[in-house]
Amino acid sequence: MSVIAKNSLQYYVVDSNEALEFKMVRRPEDLEDDEVTFKPDMSHQVYGDSEQIFGYSGLQVKLYYSAGRLTTYLAHTYADKVHPDKFEGIKPDEVIKPIAEKIPPGYLTNLEDFTAILQKDASFVPFGDLERRFTARTEEGKEKTFEVYRCCASTPGFLPYHEHFQTFILWYIDAASYIDVDDEKWRFFVTYEKYEVEGRQQYAFAGYTTVYEYYAYPANVRPRISQMLVLPPFQRLGLGAEMLNTIYSNYQSDARVLDITVEDPSDNFARLRDFVDAKNCLTLDSFDKAKLYEGFSAAMVEEAKKKLKLNKVQCILTMEVVWVETP
């Protein structure tokens, strides 16, 4: 192949992170609203380490979800495409197939069909048991209401729904893997925004956390937080802290629980956990301001373990945060 031809092929190489666009669609108008579009943090788990797609210019890969039911629309558009007869048989990369292999079957490819089905979201209600309701204020000053629901594998209708939202981890959690949802020891804490449309309550999926309940001798439980994800449109609203406190509330009153742990926490999650634990510890008698000046004590470890289900290592880390934040 000539140098000119090789240089021409570079025109048909696109960044897959830039080409991808996601939407959580609440109404038909959102389909044309760039304000509701968000991007992946990564795409190498779908399109390979280079995070590039070859064979197109002006490529847009559209992965849209209805905000509640998570009905999925997948399609792509482009300005130009490599033609094998002009480039010695070189073919463009598959665009849709790599995503289709990761998401549940039954996704829509016709935008009119997707638009028509949006109305079904009006009757969607979250699965599982309501654990927490809270409000958060956006940077623009708008107050939003959120609810966290707890589910397990036996929750009616939940597993097919989980198949849809678990695919988000491929775009936002490195080295992500799908869990074995048939294992009854998994627990799911799913967060939704609760909003109103013409006087009727509706729900939009916002994020989730998974917890595995490990057995601990002789007849105890050691819950381990595995994955936490908050979608970009809902970040910076405190949802991560609220989900974490929901998990804590769910287990702290259970006498069988020894402590609550975290599986390979990212730096961001570790900071979140330390912040939440520090705030919770400051509500304990042993962390009274006067006692903080006396230094770390066994009483702090004992009370944090008993009431907050923190192990000694996490208690020490939390104590360091408390000291930094205490004047």
Q: Are 92 and 106 in contact (CB under 8 A)?
A: no
Peptide bond between residue 218 and the one before it cis (omega within 30 degrees of 0):
yes
CA distances from 50 to 21, 58, 265 (A): 18, 18, 25
Distance CA 1, CA 119 (A): 53
Nearest CA to 287 out of 272, 274, 300, 269 is that of: 300
Q: Are 121 and 72 in contact (CB under 8 A)?
A: no
Q: With H, G, I as helix, E, B as strand and everything else as coil, classify residue 178.
A: coil
Q: Are 91 and 49 in contact (CB under 8 A)?
A: no
Identify the active-site residue in 263, 302, 320, 325.
263
CA distances from 105 to 68, 101, 123, 164, 292 (A): 18, 9, 22, 10, 56
Q: Is 263 a catalytic residue?
A: yes
Question: What's the token pair of residue 61?
Answer: 């890969």
Q: Torsion angle, CA of 243/245/250/255, rounded to 10 degrees? A: 150
- Residue 52 is given by DSSP the state E
Catalytic site residues?
A: 263
